[in-house]
Chain A
Amino acid sequence: DAKTTQPNSMESNEEEPVHLPCNHSTISGTDYIHWYRQLPSQGPEYVIHGLTSNVNNRMASLAIAEDRKSSTLILHRATLRDAAVYYCILRKVDSNYQLIWGAGTKLIIKP
């Protein structure tokens, strides 16, 4: 299964944009890129997903490199409530359950 690589942690200032990187150099053409986040003492929460094109929703934006070997989750204006562990996950297009979870990136927001 293709794997993802993320920095262990990142810091950002409140009300500034945050760019969370993810490398997935062994991604296949049928793998979707999913992002989930886990706030302290809560279950994981879906953020966004995409295949080839950049995606936007109310929570974040997902920028996918043209070769699909990397992607970036963008929080346009981070708040203290965005402090969480962010997971970048690959899912095969024909599977609705095979999410391979890595260690994620712990995002620290400084007031």
Chain B
Amino acid sequence: DAGVIQSPRHEVTEMGQEVTLRCKPISGHNSLFWYRQTMMRGLELLIYFNNNVPIDDSGMPEDRFSAKMPNASFSTLKIQPSEPRDSAVYFCASSSDRVQFFGPGTRLTVL
């Protein structure tokens, strides 16, 4: 099993640009999570999908952030427009029961 796949692994962009992060969950998992990790705030849950449906998006910082899950094998997290304070490592995780499996993360730097 390849595990959770995220792309890109690193992204450097300029303030105001659109950023799209991608995630392929583990096959057969019905839950998908997007997290953000910074030194100041630690690991924060942004949004949780179950069976491709967003269940809890209360962690999404503001309207500049949006997430989609068009099918069971793909999800995106979009930031438009990006700001320097969005710089962080973004993790995608998937689960079929009580254990979450994390991807390697995308390190985002907004200049």
B: contact size bracket? 20 to 34
Partner of A97, one of B4, B43, B48, B102: B48
Known contacts A97-B33, A97-B45; A45/B102 CB under 8 A: yes
- Give A residues with C-beta under 8 Å from B: 32, 34, 42-46, 49, 87, 91, 96-97, 99, 101-103
Beta-carbon contacts under 8 Å, B31-67 to A: 31, 33, 42-45, 48, 55-56
Binds A, one of B12-20, B79-87, B90-98: B90-98
Known contacts A97-B31, A97-B48; A42/B98 CB under 8 A: no
Say whether chain B's binding surface is mostly helix, strand, loop, or mixed: strand
Say whether chain A's binding surface is mostly helix, strand, loop, or mixed: loop
**In the complex, A45 Cα to B43 Cα: how many Å?**
13
**In the complex, A103 Cα to B41 Cα: how many Å?**
9
